[in-house]
Structure 1
């Protein structure tokens, strides 16, 4: 692609472009912080600015949240922002630095970032966070998930010591129980052969790098599958079958939950889409017309089909929610909409509320799918328009601030980072004692 360029020139332009990208990323984050401050993302029914970035710019939610955190942190760090805007520090360094930097410690950390490598800075940040974290173990408990390239779910747990011991004891006990051979086989073997040396090939098919770890996971999944979760008791919501006249008293125009409070009609109509609610229709005289869920809510078979058709996620543009989804009647059930797949769509609770309570609308599209409209009638596109750009803009802007192939290179001379020395001025004395 660049046959006329020497290798040295390719290297020089590569590093120089990295500096331009750093400067451009800084500008992007400054604009992002301002956009978020103005709630500019809220217009098309987005739940968060990160969701807007996912929809409009094409960032993953995890990357979008990270960008937002860094963007807002930079507002309090003018020296770091200036170095970032000049292309002197990379986004990776800024991301690490903003995790612990304060106006009081910014200059020292920026010196480390300018003179050291990203890995050195990250190790310093990790040591600092561990030393100054005052929260007890139970406050730091967490479960983080992500997806591997093959679709596997990666789970990272942080469990308080005593609960962790309980969890592992239960897992190890179940592993031992599953590994133990039947009583008849134990009798045949006698007491000289330890149980559990030959896993069941039907339960553990194929070779795994770490059989013990695999059996622990199987035991954990069995523990989870054995948990009993009670289903909530169905609510009964009273809804008028016809649209009451505007001159009816407010209590006649409203809907109400049996044994509970009066609720707005829009709320009642949203509730009637869910399987945990029974709808009691009444005529104008208050006579009950229908109580039941048989033909109102989606059947288990329909729900399975909906999940397949809608990809197991909310169909609202830009939404990535996959949990707590409702089967929404596009033409509302109270208004004669049938409980057919063509009239159903999976929506999360947030967007279900927008449709029923805040004037957002859905409409079927010929050929399949649904169109979405804001309350003012403006269509919401399924995805943001494609972005466009050219590196020439970055180069032109970067040249004005003097970015070249040496700007982003750290001033590190190869010496070992003395973390203890840095921590002496970075941490308060009490935190240094805890770290020791």
Structure 2
């Protein structure tokens, strides 16, 4: 290799090393800055500074609104922030920028005063992936050792998620504890059974061998098995369709009879089919057949917009809710009040929301940080974490295999 080529390699390697040091230095500073953020969040949550007179549900919802943090990530930040108050060793290492938020988030799921030093040792020697896997394995072992705790965790893990896909179809996913799940399945099967019996009768008639339509049990069973083998996916699809129909029938029955002892009133006549229309107040007050979305509104910018005429036509015979159930309850608890204000240029009065302290509650449909750059000054980070250097957040790991069995055993010994 000639001299100019060697010089070029040296320059490239030197630049890469310099970039690597800048990256690891910034990562350590970000660790320290994130620690500071979580300490502020914990204090803010403790004093309920996010409540705004009851108009915001939780600190996580406030972070979602004011800081642009996804709700799930915001909930995790609040959880980790409070856990740090109980774990002084992890808290101190995080404050120095030695460990990342990813590692801290994982550790705080299982850390105690007895095992935090052990977890911290592994965090310093391993990667975030190592820590996530270790915590997951340890968590599973712990659940298996304590059946009662496992049952409680199952109860806390219950959820039902639903959304509407691009085709307009509703997708529903449910996760239920064993007893509750069995109850739901039992109800579905009870509705499915008559439909399945009807299908079986049709099948029996189709394979009848005499004028009276009688067929032996053996022939019927053989025919069913033959159809399953021949149709395969068609048979499964038919079963899935039947279950979907059963779920709809259960909901129709509940809405029609107000079952379960709830205060829900039965829907009759035109109200049996409901359309929920979210209408911007300016749309209803504006004249004309077209409506451009509010340029400050980020909530609905990707949605289809209706003309004012269409919105008024859809809502003219409908009942109007100004408040969701949660805020309706807060209104009657005195957390805020509502008054009608006559606005120039509009025929209909506008609504003004007032906090318990008497301040007007402004709309949230505006940019979070007008005129503020997202760039963070390196000098500001250096002042925040003056002791952080390019090696502070780098782990001691050099590629060796992680013995999760030994690591989990060590955690179990410290947890007993």
TM-score range relative to shorter protein = 0.5 to 0.7
Q: Who is 2:271 aligned against? A: 300
RMSD value over aligned CA atoms? 4.7
Shift in CA distance, 182/301, structure 1 to aligned 2, threshold 3 Å? closer
The separation in 2 between residues aligned to 1:150 and 1:352, in whole angstroms, is: 29
| Structure 2 contact 80–105 (Cα < 8 Å) conserved | yes
Q: Give 5+ residue unaligned stretches, structure 2.
A: 1-13, 210-218, 282-298, 300-314
Q: Who is 2:409 aligned against? A: 424
| DSSP-derived class of the 2:227 partner | coil
| DSSP-derived class of the 1:124 partner | helix
Matched, 1:345 2:354: no
Deviation per CA, 1:123-177: give whole Å up to 9, x if none: 2212222222324364324433557895775735253289659949977996994
The separation in 2 between residues aligned to 1:71 and 1:221, in whole angstroms, is: 43
- Per the normalisation by structure 1, the TM-score is 0.61
| DSSP-derived class of the 2:277 partner | helix
The Cα of 1:346 is off from its aligned counterpart by: 4.1
Deviation per CA, 1:65-111: give whole Å up to 9, x if none: 11111010011112212222222222111111000101111110011
Q: Who is 1:119 aligned against? A: 129
Of residues 396, 400, 410, the one that matches 2:386 is 400
Q: Who is 2:226 aligned against? A: 194
| Structure 2 contact 125–396 (Cα < 8 Å) conserved | yes
The separation in 2 between residues aligned to 1:423 and 1:402, in whole angstroms, is: 31
Q: Who is 2:6 aligned against? A: none
Alignment of 1:40-189 (within 5 A): 40-44=49-53, 45-133=55-143, 134-136=146-148, 138-139=151-152, 140-141=154-155, 142-145=157-160, 153=171, 155=173, 157-160=175-178, 167=185, 177=196, 182-183=202-203, 186=207
Q: Who is 2:360 aligned against? A: 378
Q: Who is 2:23 aligned against? A: 14
Identify the structure with bigger relative contact order (alpha carbons < 8 Å, sequence gap 6+): 2
| DSSP-derived class of the 1:55 partner | helix
Shift in CA distance, 195/303, structure 1 to aligned 2, threshold 3 Å? closer
- Per the normalisation by structure 2, the TM-score is 0.63
Matched, 1:36 2:59: no
| Structure 1 contact 87–403 (Cα < 8 Å) conserved | no
The separation in 1 between residues aligned to 2:226 and 2:361, in whole angstroms, is: 68
Shift in CA distance, 186/362, structure 1 to aligned 2, threshold 3 Å? farther
The separation in 1 between residues aligned to 2:147 and 2:261, in whole angstroms, is: 40
Question: Normalized per residue, which structure has more helix?
Answer: 2
| DSSP-derived class of the 2:393 partner | coil
| Structure 1 contact 56–383 (Cα < 8 Å) conserved | no
Q: Which moved more, 1:140-149 or 1:172-181?
A: 172-181
The separation in 2 between residues aligned to 1:73 and 1:24, in whole angstroms, is: 17
The separation in 2 between residues aligned to 1:342 and 1:377, in whole angstroms, is: 32
The separation in 1 between residues aligned to 2:102 and 2:324, in whole angstroms, is: 34
Matched, 1:231 2:258: yes
Question: Normalized per residue, which structure has more strand?
Answer: 1
| DSSP-derived class of the 2:399 partner | coil
Q: Give 5+ residue unaligned stretches, structure 1.
A: 202-210, 236-273, 278-292, 312-319, 321-338, 432-436
The Cα of 1:226 is off from its aligned counterpart by: 3.1
The Cα of 1:220 is off from its aligned counterpart by: 4.6
The separation in 2 between residues aligned to 1:187 and 1:40, in whole angstroms, is: 75
How many residue pairs get matched?
A: 333
Q: Who is 1:243 aligned against? A: none
The separation in 2 between residues aligned to 1:96 and 1:70, in whole angstroms, is: 9
The Cα of 1:33 is off from its aligned counterpart by: 0.1
The separation in 2 between residues aligned to 1:310 and 1:301, in whole angstroms, is: 25
| DSSP-derived class of the 1:407 partner | coil
